[in-house]
Amino acid sequence: MKKFVLTIITFSAALLSTQVIACASCGCSLSSDWGTQGVSSSEGLKIDLRYDYLNQNESRHGTGKLGTYPSGQEQEVYTKNNYLTAAFEYNWSAKWGVNIFLPYIDRDHLTNGPDGTATSSSHTQSIGDVKAVMRYSFEDDGSSGVQFGVKLPTGSHTQNFSGGDAIGTQLDRGLQPGTGTTDAIIGAYRFGSLSKDWDYFTQITTQLPINSSDDYKPGNSVNLNLGFRNMSYESFVPQVQINARWAAKDSGNSPYASPEDSGGQTIYISPGMTVPLSEKIQAYGFVQLPIYQNLNGYQLAPRYTVSVGTRISF
């Protein structure tokens, strides 16, 4: 009981010391790549179904909130995102595995013109860009290794505004389900034990677009994840992640690109837990809260992100 209370205090302190501000408009960077965390490197198939919700309804500029848009600047109101991602993981051994991520995106957006009166809206529902990532471990226990893969342009990038003054005109690329580009994915990871009760993992991944689409190219990005798990309890596993992301500005002269209002640096804290429902099924949930952000230009950002999911082993 004492151990349980100390764990709750630790996680509560992490939450209370975090300023509840917005995270970057790029969305949730929480890691649920269980193979690189040491949760599962056993042979066979695993399926992960994950839902993420983030409502980008806070205007940000640099490291602060934006009170009033400058004259002539488009005034975005909100972007409500619902992501449903199916991940299929197959391990041939502790050393070799592959992950395929299939996202579905449901997104509502509302924006005003530079004068604050010409309102336009959109609602997109579409498959996003699929990722396939291989994993190779240097160790027999799978505790450290590299990742390499590709993001494919499977998501639509030609969706239009569905209401208001801009009805029928194409959405900015940042609002499209896909980027239209093929990206290379390269990463490295390590996991292990800190003590009898605490495990850790660390992972760094970079995503590099290797082509452009309609004179548009998203910026290079780097994600760094650090996580800790408390293994003291049989009925649940408390966890916390630190998720840092750096993204360069988009590039291109496309009328639908907004290079100056893209990219930035963010750091998040993500407390949560995993609950085993049976020998082969686990449920998990996290809340992601930003603790630092520096966004280029003028961007919408959410105050928090909620992620829940379930993982099935076969």
Q: What is the largest CA-CA distance in the chain?
A: 62
Share of the chain above pLDDT 90, in %: 55
Which two tokens mark 50?
């994950």
Using one digit for the tens of pLDDT, what is the confidence trace for 83-98? 999 999 998 888 899 9
Mean pLDDT across the stretch 57-80? 86
Question: How does residue 73 score in pLDDT terms, banded at 50, 70 and 90?
Answer: confident
Question: What is the predicted pLDDT for the residue at 43?
Answer: 80
Q: Which residue has the higher pLDDT, 257 or 240?
A: 240
22-68: pLDDT as tens digits: 233 445 667 666 556 656 667 889 999 999 999 999 888 999 988 77
Nearest to 83 by CA among 274, 309, 282, 265: 309
Percent of the chain topping pLDDT 70? 87
Mean of the per-residue pLDDT values of the chain:
85
Per-residue pLDDT of 194-204, as tens digits, reads 988 999 999 99
Lowest mean pLDDT among 61-70, 145-154, 178-187: 61-70
Query: Average pLDDT for residues 126-133, to the nearest whole number?
Result: 95
Q: How far apart are CA 25 and CA 58, in angstroms?
A: 10
Length of the chain: 314
- Residue 75 burial class via C-beta count within 10 angstroms: exposed 0-12, middle 13-18, buried 19 and up: buried
What's the per-residue H, E or C state across 263-307?
A: CEEEEEEEEEEEEECCCCEEEEEEEEEEEEEEEEEEEEEECCEEE
* pTM of the predicted structure, to 2 decimals: 0.84
Residue 168 falls in which region: left (phi positive, over 0), alpha (psi -120 to 50) or beta: left
pLDDT, tens digit, 9 for 90 and up, residues 207-240: 999 999 888 999 999 999 999 999 888 899 999 9
Q: What is the mean pLDDT of residues 98-117?
A: 89
8 A C-beta contact, residue 147 and residue 205: yes
In this structure, of 6-15, 124-133, 140-149, the range with the lowest mean pLDDT score is: 6-15
* SS3 call for 259: helix
Q: Compute φ and ψ for 14, nearest 5 degrees.
A: -60, -40
